[in-house]
Structure 1
Amino acid sequence: MTESLSDAERRDWLRLARTENVGPVTFDQLVRRFGSATRALEALPDLARRGGRAIRLADGAVVEKELADGAALGARLIAACEPAFPQTLAALDPPPPVIWARGRLEMLARPGVAVVGARVASAAGQRFARGLAADLGRAGHVVVSGMARGIDAAAHEGSLPTGAVAVLAGGVDDIYPPEHAALYARIVEAGCVVSENEPGRAAVARDFPRRNRIIAGLSRAVVVVEAEFRSGSLITARLAAEQGREVLAVPGSPLDPRAKGTNDLIRQGAAICEGADDVLRALEGLRNLREPDREYGAHPGSDPDDALREAVAALLSPTPVSRDELVRATGAPAPLVFAALTELALAGRCELLPGGMVSTS
């Protein structure tokens, strides 16, 4: 779906996205089922009651404040259904319902490559990331990273003259770490800052994996420069691989713990990156990323009965299982099973995960 929203439709889209228990997967299912965010909002209280628990819709005044705060920053809210929403991000299944963008929005329409890595990075690693970002920029690519210390900051510095995109875990105005205030200002001036969270929000731990998913989603390839085994950069690489993006890693000395993560990525099949030419060659073989086909519009008759809903709930556990497996286990039509899962998710009884997986909350 590609359409420009009216102000009222944008408020409802944002209100649905900010309602409790409505994550990206649930949001996508609701808009598919009811055809619009407005109709989904009208149906939510009844759906949650069917799932077994009342739901509290996002407060309209809070949504209005978010829109006003974003406007005061000069930021723009872009819904996933709108033409300005980045195509590579729209290719996620599902994409984030909304993003806030501050700076030069045209950067989001250009092909992106993520350069990420260790916060406590070596001088050599930072020099490599800075040079790689500069070379990729001269080749026409916007460089995407997370504005963290170390490799991220070096990548932004190298790409500022040609195109830098910073994805933040907090709100679009949440400068973290604080010492990157000057870097943030330069990116807003010459590049673009992106977040899926509301302005004014300070990042918490659970926001960083979501930020990493957007970094990968804005990019056709992800390059990891340095990373220890338990590194957020490796999460970004895994998400990129799941999304069908190219993953490259810079090899390093086995004596340096910051090379253990990148060397392991190479063992697992990531391409070796020794410079921008390696990235450009990898991109030549990458198929076009297309937005998944989504059928929007109200679907009458997709209301599961109590017996099916509880049968689906009984099949769930903390171990994620695919929705298709639940369809096979129940023997019920897929639309009814998916509708039952949406109702259970709204009631907080299950969690709908990217990739068609489901678990208990």
Structure 2
Amino acid sequence: MSMQAEGASSQADTSVKHQLVKKSGIVLTDQQRLAWLRLIRSDNVGPITFRSLINHYGSAEKALAMIPELAARGGSSRRIRIAKTDEAERELETAARFGGRFVGIGEPDYPPALRAMEGAPPLLAMHGSGAVATRPALGIVGARNSSVAGSKFTVMIAEAAARAGYTVVSGLARGIDTAAHRASLSYGTLAAIAGGLDQPYPPENIELYKNICSDGGVAISEMPYGWIPRARDFPRRNRLIAGCALAVVVVEAAHRSGSLITARLANECGREVLAVPGSPLDPRAHGSNGLIRQGATIICEVSDVLEALAPLSQIEIPFSGSVGEEKADESDAPPPDDSDRTRIAQALGPSPCDIDDLIRFTGVHAAAVHLILLELDLAGRLVRHSGGTVSLA
């Protein structure tokens, strides 16, 4: 359960020496930002589809114009809703009214570790300090009904990590999340939000949320302003926590808790998973003890966290998946025809399939396969899974 650095130093250091990923010089124009927001708010356009569209057509504006045709080729039985310009303009105005902004992937304020993750949000709503968002980060999650001991140890971890130069990332929930944010508030903490940035949850943490945004911290969300969080939105919030951090420490977690979802997502994207052991008699420790049994790094002292973070903070991950508005993909391959589409649709099924295997099995040119998958995706007929696999809906 770790993100390993080949040749990384094994000697612990309590200070951050390097950024995880070099900052990018990409800056969107106002027109590009508006088009990006329209594209990601349109039906059937998720982060991977967004990236494929812009990389294929060169810009969000050209991609928006092509969506109806692509969806029709993919077999869509209904008209695809494309976010209107005035809708996106209103959301940008709402963000500005609340003191927020939208940051595109690859722009300087975008969290570096997050942008290196598969399926990273192309646009983040952000309120607060971009500098805090770009520092190497430690995620801290745990039980909402945390124990006194669990909360106390969380404060110790968060304070030590913040003093060492790490941004403490959590989800603004009750219990462990609240303790982590409060302990690192004066250093700048990052809160990942499940709903819109104007809809922080839970209500008792609204004042804490305001303090985070106004006192040098930062809040992020991939949901629209005005979006009231639902139960199914919190795993997306957990994914932001996992993606922003070098490592995630679970202090207390029951079986089937949201903290375990964050740990799983962190492991899937190559982050280090750390867990604090607890009493076998305490239900709040069942999940975290289980993580240790599965191979998570055991944390018994604050220094254990800093030792785990030290080599990770020196890793430089190149960002190869840039979504820049440059020239469109150029390929000598002929465009796919109906026979190609039939072969791809017949080869796919309900079980996840690796795209490279699909290309080899069908014999269809790789560029054509990716375009056909894009058509199926926009038509709502494709499901994208972790690891880059796909299946039919």
Q: Name the counterpart of 2:328.
A: 298
Q: Is the CA contact 2:125–2:197 (under 8 Å) kept in the aligned structure 1?
A: yes
Q: Does 1:52 align with 2:75?
A: yes
Deviation digits for residues 81-118 of structure 1, max 9, x if unmatched? 32322211111123101001112221111111000011
2:27 aligned residue: 4
Identify which of 263, 268, 273 aligns with 1:237.
Answer: 263
| Map of 1:268 onto structure 2 | 294
Give SS of 2:255's match.
Answer: coil
Q: Counterpart of 1:327?
A: 359
The aligned counterpart of 1:27 is 50
Q: Deviations over 1:208-259 (max 9, x none)?
A: 1111111111111100111112011111111111222111000111111111
Instruction: Give the whole-Å Cα distance in 2 for the aligned partners of 1:326 and 1:221.
Output: 34
**1:338 Cα deviation from its structure 2 partner:** 1.4
- CA offsets, 1:113-138, max 9 Å, x none? 00001112112111111221111111
- Secondary structure, aligned partner of 1:355: helix
Q: TM-score, normalised by structure 1?
A: 0.95
Does 1:159 find its partner at 2:159? no
CA–CA distance in structure 1, aligned partners of residues 364 and 291 of structure 2: 40
Percent identity between the two aligned chains: 49
User: Per-residue displacement from partner, 1:27-63 (whole Å, max 9, x unpaired)?
Assistant: 1111111121112112111111110113221122211
Unaligned runs of 5+ residues in structure 2 are 1-23
TM-score, normalising length: structure 2: 0.88
CA distance in 1, matches of 2:232, 2:50: 19
Distance (Å, rounded) in 2 between the aligned partners of 1:304 and 1:5:
32
2:140 alignment partner, SS class? strand
Higher relative contact order (CA 8 A, sep 6+): 2
State the alpha-carbon separation in 1 of the partners of residues 273 and 82 from structure 2: 39
RMSD over equivalenced CA pairs, Å: 1.7
SS class of match (1:160): helix
Q: Post-superposition shift, 1:294?
A: 4.6
Kindly indicate whether the alpha-carbon contact (under 8 Å) linking 2:71 and 2:378 is maintained by their aligned counterparts in 1. yes
SS of match in other structure, 1:227: coil
Work out the CA distance in 2 between the residues paired with 1:133 and 1:153.
11
- Report the AA paired with residue 303 of structure 1: P
- What is the count of residue pairs matched by the alignment? 361
Whole-angstrom CA distance in 2 between matches of 1:254 and 1:302: 62
Instruction: Tell me the SS of whatever aligns to 1:102.
Output: strand
Measure how far apart 1:302 and its partner are. Answer: 6.5
How far apart are 1:316 and its partner, in Å? 3.1
Structure 2 Cα separation of the partners of residues 237 and 302 of structure 1: 44
> What is aligned with 1:15?
38
Question: Secondary structure of the equivalent of 1:285?
Answer: helix
- Shift in CA distance, 44/94, structure 1 to aligned 2, threshold 3 Å: same
Give distance in 1, aligned partners of 2:278 and 2:109. 39
| Alpha-carbon spacing, 1:323–1:100, altered in 2? closer, same or farther (3 Å) | same
- Is the Cα–Cα contact under 8 Å of residues 139 and 245 in structure 2 kept in the other structure? yes
Q: Which amino acid counterpart does residue 317 of structure 1 have in structure 2?
A: G
Counterpart of 1:343 in structure 2 is: 375
Mapped partners of 2:354, 2:232: distance in 1: 23
| Offset, 1:2 | 4.8
> 2:389: which partner in 1?
357
The answer to whether the Cα contact below 8 Å between 1:88 and 1:290 also exists between their aligned partners in 2 is no
Give the CA deviation at 1:74.
0.8
Question: CA–CA distance in 1 between the matches of 2:367 and 2:194?
Answer: 34
Q: How does 1:169-248 map to 2 (within 5 A)?
A: 169-190=194-215, 191-248=217-274
What runs of 5+ residues in structure 1 fail to find an aligned partner?
none
For 1:145, the equivalent position in structure 2 comes to 170
CA contact (8 A) 2:167 2:190 kept: yes
Counterparts of 2:149 and 2:339 in 1: how far apart (Å)?
Answer: 61
Instruction: Give every structure 1 segment of 4 or more consecutive aligned residues whose post-TM-superposition deviation is greater than 6 Å.
Output: none
Residues 231 and 318 of structure 1: CA distance in aligned 2, closer, same or farther (over 3 Å): farther
Q: What secondary structure, in the 3-state scheme, does the structure 2 residue paired with 1:206 have?
A: helix
